[in-house]
Structure 1
């Protein structure tokens, strides 16, 4: 699995990230799992076509006591297996890494 990993975070950092993601209602239903939505303009043509049947589309963010791991696989929340599930394009990958880095910067977390 391709991931973007940020480790060596403090418990205070993890709590701040968890609180922010909870405020944004991005919880994944399991402790430590969050769904980061993929912006519409970054979806592939297949994902756009499958939007109603398979979407919404997101990247999984997993956190434990000192690490954030963002999977770079675009998942379909409404379907487990489909041709619309694919690794992020280079543009989406850059956008989501910048998004996560920006979230940390907004919280005053230096990485």
Structure 2
């Protein structure tokens, strides 16, 4: 799995991130998993065509030591589809800017 990982979180950082994700993303079925919407303007060609699979998300995994941002763009309606792909350049840049921006914002 390709992902962007920020490790060695301080407890204060973990608590701020947890509060932020609880209020600004969809919680996953497992603790510490969050789903963040990908802006439609960043959808790839196939993702735009697959209207039944929209919207698309990237997953965030938060634990007390680290936070990881998956670079796999997924739908929550299907487990397998051709539109579930690793992030293209624009999507990857968005995820990295989102991740880095959280620490500036919080």
TM-score by length of 2: 0.94
Structure 2 counterpart of 1:23: 23
Matches within 5 A, 1:27-106: 27-51=27-51, 53-106=52-105
| Cα distance change on mapping 1:15 and 1:97 into 2, 3 Å | same
Q: Is the strand fraction higher in 1 or 2?
A: 2
Structure 1 gap ranges (5+):
none
Structure 2 gap ranges (5+):
none
Give the whole-Å Cα distance in 1 for the aligned partners of 2:14 and 2:63: 8
TM-score by length of 1: 0.90
User: Structure 1: which 4+ aligned runs deviate by more than 6 Å?
Assistant: none
Paired residue secondary structure (1:19):
helix
Give the whole-Å Cα distance in 2 for the aligned partners of 1:88 and 1:80: 17
